[in-house]
Chains A and B, each alone.
Chain A
Amino acid sequence: NEQLAIPQLRQSSYRHETPPTNPSRRCLHLGYFGGKRLHKISWSAPKPSPLTRSAPMAKLAIFFTLTLSLLPFLSHSFSPDTPTDRRILVLLDDFSLKSSHSIFFTSLKSRGFDLDFKLADDPKLSLQRYGQYLYDGLILFAPSVERFGGALDVAAVLDFVDSGHDLIVAADTTASDLIKSVATECGVDFDEDPSAMVIDHQGYAVSDVDGDHTLIAADELIRSDVILGKTKIEAPVLFKGIAHSLNAANTLALKVLSGSPSAYSANPSAKLSSPPSLTGSAISLVSVVQARNNARIMISGSLDLFSNRYMKSSVQKAGSPSKYEKSGNEQFVTEVSKWLFHERGHLKAGNLRHLKVGETGEPAMYRIKDDLEFYVDIFEWSGNSWEPYVADDVQVQFYMMSPYVLKTLSTDKKGLYHTSFKVPDVYGVFQFKVEYQKLGYTSLSLSKQIPVRPFRHNEYERFIPTAFPYYGASFTTIFFFYLFVFFLVIKTRFAGALQMAGFFIFSVVYLYNNRMVGRPPFSIL
């Protein structure tokens, strides 16, 4: 159901502020060989110089302009409407990794990604040109690189992430300070001991030939269908590399693959002199980070995890009777990369709207105790189209410094969420807030301001039943005052009768007026 989804997503936290039809960006992406040239043309095309204003040249210019304006619709890249990454830069220590990790790369290519392999110290390395990013994702398979080539440095990588792009970092025992500092900036702390590896004397893989128990058959996976896919990963994941830990206060980072309780991080070739700093489940083997702008980062302590060798090898965890023909690596890596490149778990919400029950159109202000209905659309990106997101835990807050109303929204399974409630008996400037943070999904944070006013002067109850004695008292007073005047002051009978008649007429009119609620009967102001 596309129609509901597209309009006005201004409030939702989208990764890209770039409007979907940005010609220069689309042109640049068109294959790496022709990008530069096409780009030049795109500069000259809209503004032909007076010298070339002959007919054929003009036609040519029109042709180019048309082509260029059409190109964006033919190309694929990341955008709020199609949030899956398309162009990925892979930085390698050396090109042999291209073949040794080909299964992983092939799976990416088969899913439609354009991979651009470069050496990490390539002097022409650059992530952006003319302020536009050339890539949507970055894979750092260069654990030992001390300095990136070209214009790339840690800050550039982090700016790349901060502008909403995705990142995979794989380290191993040779991990350089550069790679570690990238990880640290993302909230992942690698073990500071450069020679330490993850050792597990109980959870190692038995196929391991050398006996230092550094090849681990890890099966402590995060329980999240959205990150790891619906199919359960049966076989353990082979891991050989360094440990890292997450700060407990870091709400953005998640351990996807964590060490078993018996794992620890130490130098396998040296004797352990002091207790290891990282032990047990505090060790994370593979972590993912979802930044506040929903850029996704995967950090693995092992580059071999992605290798063909590990993917193909059979695995048996020590002490476990079941032996698997194939390790879980391929499934694990594929599923995590699907999540990472926004093929799964990417939500968009928008079209936040509300209306008073029985009315159409959005009011600018509510009154206390009004009944209102609230709607919001939430869709999930399936990799090639927006599908309705179905969940029973989306809530809306009616918020002024604290939530006054907290309601769970019900969905029609077509992406539309709805609820209705009564405005609380408090006036002020409220907000409709949808704060949806679910493990693995993009966090949704929408709000819309709406003031709530008190009753108008003529919206109060006209007659309060409990006050009838007082009404009676006041009218009796008026009545007896007139009697008093009649007997004491007014001497002639005629004048008195007139006065009495006037009083009764007055009372009747007054009472009649009061019936017509909605208009003040005798307002002095």
Chain B
Amino acid sequence: MASPESAVNGPTMTAGAASKSLRNAFGGVIAFIILVLIGVLAFSIRLFSVIKYESVIHEFDPYFNYRVTQFLSKNGIYDFWNWFDDRTWYPLGRVIGGTVYPGLTLTAGTIWKVVNSLNIPLSVETVCVFTAPIFSAFASWAAYLLTKEVKGPGAGLTAAALLAMVPSYISRSVAGSYDNEAVAIFALVFTFYLYIKTLNTGSLFYATLNALAYFYMVCSWGGYTFIINLIPMHVLLCIVTGRYSSRLYIAYAPLVVLGTLLASLVPVVGFNAVLTSEHFASFLVFIIIHVVALAYYIKGILSPKMFKVAVTLVVSVGLAVCCAVIAILIAVVASSPTKGWSGRSLTLLDPTYASKYIPIIASVSEHQPPTWPSYFMDINVLAFLVPAGIIACFMPLTDSSSFVILYIVTSVYFSGVMVRLMLVLAPAACILSGIALSEAFNVLTRSIKFQLPGIAGNPSIASEENGSSTVVAPNDIPKTEEAAKEKPAKKNRKKEKENVEKKPTPSKTEKRLLVLPLEASVIAVLLLVLLGAFYVVHCVWAAAEAYSAPSIVLTSHSNDGGLHVFDDFREAYSWLSHNTDVDDKVASWWDYGYQTTAMANRTVLVDNNTWNNTHIATVGTAMSSPEKQAWEIFHSLDVKYVLVVFGGVVGYPSDDINKFLWMVRIGGGVFPHIKEPDYLRDGQYRIDAQATPTMLNCLMYKLSYFRFVETDGKGFDRVRRTEIGKKHFKLTHFEEVFTTHHWMVRIYKLKPQRNRIRGKTKKSKSSRSVSSKRDVRGKRNPWH
């Protein structure tokens, strides 16, 4: 959150040299204005959802965050910390304070409090809706800072502009998408910026800030493990490539110590910060960096000959110590509660792990591996610019540019594992594309500038060299950057500077410049501008059309161009909140848990925080069981209502029938009498006349298709594009109480236990079934 100030001051502060002071001041002002505009752009491009729909919270998880924020704003931080929620995971309940990443909630709560104390009466919902756009502006400013540290302000501004509208990030941060990622991406980029800043300056001040930024990231998102693994990787890379310096030590050691201490203060992380394997890499590198530091220190005080003796001594001892440490590590890993890695982390390393062993992770759509089109959709032209950016980072390879390269490589890998982690890739892609674009413009504009007769006055033009690539050797920007960097350098850094920073100096003095032909340069500039324009068009389209749907309100265009709105979800939830008792329990598949508690304020069995697999499996088993068994399961859990989402009437594809196989799998994982093959005909999932009897008799089928044939007389399911297998049937243990306008949500009530137990003679059956039929007929048909 400190980013705007530092972003503003950054460029103006660098204006140091007296000769360029005026030009730099002017550039600083321009940069400042551009940054403000980028912030406005980042904010406003995310408002399509509000303009096209309304100012609502989107999707599933944001509803939970919204509910938590409401609680926080009403009850204060201590009650939030100790909140035991008895309306979810009935009857287990959930300790919200200890199981939630509080960063987002605390941020929005703070904003709400500040705004209200200034007598600006915004509702909590408004604040929540607009938190994500605000933080995406912050994130683009943080990207500016990070890229500026790596390649100078020009690249920084380009990267910031790219990040402001990258579709991948927009998909998670449109107004109303009130999710952890919204603030976490800012925290991620800002933490990286502070790490690079510390690495470049060697300042303990920035190291401390870095630990605090890391703390904010830990508060915000489980993705913090990416930071705590990437930074050690980079440190290790620096050590291996002989780039160890005291700046590296200052950038890393305080982060591990302070960061781990701070992370363990977050209730949801707690002792995991030292117990789970995700954090072990940082500790290992922490040990290594100390060994290396000791080695460098000893090398400094010993004569070369003595040092050689010492090395042989240390290596022999060190090997023994290493063996011991590795043994200890293995012991710790084996004894840690999760046997090392948690399920989600293992998914990252072995993409097939989840689908093999943890259906509940594999079943989440955002945990699927992405397809190639989704790369083009989400980062568009950046995918082509990234390689150029990587090359630019190698010329010259500095500590900071090697970090960016490492960042892009790891995030490309992770994004290939889980579509959700595309979000981590987006900033990296923007930064590298920003570097690439900026370098390209640099070369091209300088070529133009040197060849235009009016401006060409610079005496230091070297001979033209026909480079094979368009990418250039060091130019003005890194030079001024290094000059600025050296200014605050301390005396202790003087001697070790020789190691690293004097290396590029020969090339600097040589002043080799690549000049391209004028026409080629002009055309290349135009093409690059065109490329940028395509990117902007694509981003605006993505923001407006693809990623702004709130998913609780759906729209469709009819053939004559009219807009049709499907507001069934809110209709159902408000029916629940108005027509059921406060303490009634509603069973549904876990996708709708958060929405039910937030919008209908009713107790649910399972929700989107999938912490208890057994409980979810119980609901899955009930949904895949015949009516009677399902009734018994639900009755034992005090369920009053069952809610199913059904898209067969309007063709809404993500309904419960399409999710049903996951219910079977998850249920069968815990209760083995539910077997997936029973629901498949020759390995095919079908609901038509060929479907298996188990499928046609399970609760989910019955609740979805009950009275469905009354809609069109044939029972044609528009999602599965087939006629359903069993059309006319009655419910014995459930009764329909509400079906929304488009049949998208259907709510059933559990019938009470029979008042009498009938005898075994079946003679008088007809008289009773007549009356039960009458009950069903008496219900309002919501379709007509």
Report A's interface with B, CB cutoff 8 A.
153-155, 158-159, 161-162, 177, 180-181, 183-189, 192, 246-247, 249-253, 289, 291-293, 295, 365, 400-401, 427-431, 449, 451, 453-454, 456-457, 524-525
Q: When the two chains form their complex, are residues A153 and B767 in contact, meaning their CB atoms are under 8 A apart?
A: yes
A427-B95, A457-B81 known; A252-B756 Cβ under 8 A: yes
Q: When the two chains form their complex, are residues B756 and A524 in contact, meaning their CB atoms are under 8 A apart?
A: no
Would you give the shortest CB distance from B456 to chain A, in whole angstroms? 58
List, in ascending order, chain B residues with CB within 8 A of A251's CB: 757
Q: When the two chains form their complex, are residues A188 and B759 in contact, meaning their CB atoms are under 8 A apart?
A: yes
List, in ascending order, chain B residues with CB within 8 A of A161's CB: 755-756
Summarize B's interface: helix, strand, loop or mixed. Answer: loop
The 8 A CB mask of B80-107 against A (1 = contact, 0 = none) is: 0110101000111101000000100000
Would you give the shortest CB distance from B39 to chain A, in whole angstroms? 30
Q: When the two chains form their complex, are residues B84 and A154 in contact, meaning their CB atoms are under 8 A apart?
A: no
Return the chain B residue nearest A364 by Cβ.
B86
**Contact for A453 among B84, B102, B755, B758, CB less than 8 A:** B84
CA distance A186 to B768 in the complex (A): 12
Q: When the two chains form their complex, are residues A428 and B767 in contact, meaning their CB atoms are under 8 A apart?
A: no
Would you give the shortest CB distance from A28 to chain B, in whole angstroms? 24
Q: When the two chains form their complex, are residues A250 and B86 in contact, meaning their CB atoms are under 8 A apart?
A: no
The answer to whether B760 has its CB under 8 Å from any CB of chain A is: yes
List, in ascending order, chain A residues with CB within 8 A of B92's CB: 400, 428-429
Return the chain A residue nearest B771 by Cβ.
A155
Summarize A's interface: helix, strand, loop or mixed. Answer: mixed
A185-B768, A449-B583, A524-B265 known; A292-B753 Cβ under 8 A: yes
**Contact for A181 among B95, B753, B767, CB less than 8 A:** B767
Report B's interface with A, CB cutoff 8 A.
77-78, 81-82, 84, 86, 90-93, 95, 102, 262, 265, 583, 603, 636-638, 753-761, 763-764, 767-768, 770-771
List, in ascending order, chain B residues with CB within 8 A of A155's CB: 767-768, 770-771
Would you give the shortest CB distance from B12 to chain A, in whole angstroms? 34
Return the chain A residue nearest B98 by Cβ.
A454
Q: When the two chains form their complex, are residues A192 and B761 in contact, meaning their CB atoms are under 8 A apart?
A: yes
Extra pairs beyond A427-B93, A429-B91, A524-B265 (16, CB < 8 Å): A154-B764, A158-B756, A161-B756, A181-B764, A185-B756, A186-B756, A188-B759, A189-B759, A192-B761, A246-B759, A251-B757, A429-B92, A431-B91, A451-B93, A457-B82, A525-B102
Q: When the two chains form their complex, are residues A289 and B763 in contact, meaning their CB atoms are under 8 A apart?
A: no
Return the chain B residue nearest A177 by Cβ.
B763
CA distance A498 to B321 in the complex (A): 41
Q: When the two chains form their complex, are residues B760 and A292 in contact, meaning their CB atoms are under 8 A apart?
A: no
Return the chain B residue nearest A163 by Cβ.
B755
Q: When the two chains form their complex, are residues B760 and A247 in contact, meaning their CB atoms are under 8 A apart?
A: yes
Q: When the two chains form their complex, are residues A162 and B91 in contact, meaning their CB atoms are under 8 A apart?
A: no
**Contact for B759 among A247, A292, A525, CB less than 8 A:** A247
Query: Can you pick out 8 interface pairs between chain A and chain B where the beta carbons lie within 8 Å of each other?
Result: A161-B756, A162-B756, A187-B756, A187-B759, A192-B761, A247-B759, A295-B755, A451-B86
A155-B767, A181-B767, A449-B583 known; A428-B93 Cβ under 8 A: yes
Return the chain A residue nearest B754 by Cβ.
A292
Q: When the two chains form their complex, are residues A429 and B759 in contact, meaning their CB atoms are under 8 A apart?
A: no
Q: When the two chains form their complex, are residues A185 and B93 in contact, meaning their CB atoms are under 8 A apart?
A: no
Return the chain A residue nearest B86 by Cβ.
A451
Q: When the two chains form their complex, are residues B77 and A525 in contact, meaning their CB atoms are under 8 A apart?
A: yes
List, in ascending order, chain A residues with CB within 8 A of B761's CB: 180-181, 184, 189, 192
Q: When the two chains form their complex, are residues A189 and B760 in contact, meaning their CB atoms are under 8 A apart?
A: yes
CA distance A219 to B81 in the complex (A): 69
List, in ascending order, chain B residues with CB within 8 A of A524's CB: 262, 265
Would you give the shortest CB distance from B368 to chain A, in whole angstroms? 33
Q: When the two chains form their complex, are residues A184 and B759 in contact, meaning their CB atoms are under 8 A apart?
A: yes
List, in ascending order, chain B residues with CB within 8 A of A189's CB: 759-761
Q: When the two chains form their complex, are residues A292 and B81 in contact, meaning their CB atoms are under 8 A apart?
A: no
CA distance A246 to B764 in the complex (A): 17
**Contact for A365 among B84, B754, B760, B771, CB less than 8 A:** B84
Would you give the shortest CB distance from A464 to chain B, in whole angstroms? 16
Name which of A246, A251, A456 has the most chain B CB atoms within 10 A of its CB: A456
Q: When the two chains form their complex, are residues B583 and A154 in contact, meaning their CB atoms are under 8 A apart?
A: no
Q: When the two chains form their complex, are residues A247 and B757 in contact, meaning their CB atoms are under 8 A apart?
A: yes
CA distance A289 to B759 in the complex (A): 12
Q: When the two chains form their complex, are residues B265 and A430 in contact, meaning their CB atoms are under 8 A apart?
A: no
**Contact for B767 among A154, A400, A449, CB less than 8 A:** A154
Q: When the two chains form their complex, are residues B583 and A451 in contact, meaning their CB atoms are under 8 A apart?
A: no
CA distance A247 to B756 in the complex (A): 12
Q: When the two chains form their complex, are residues A525 and B755 in contact, meaning their CB atoms are under 8 A apart?
A: no
CA distance A449 to B583 in the complex (A): 9
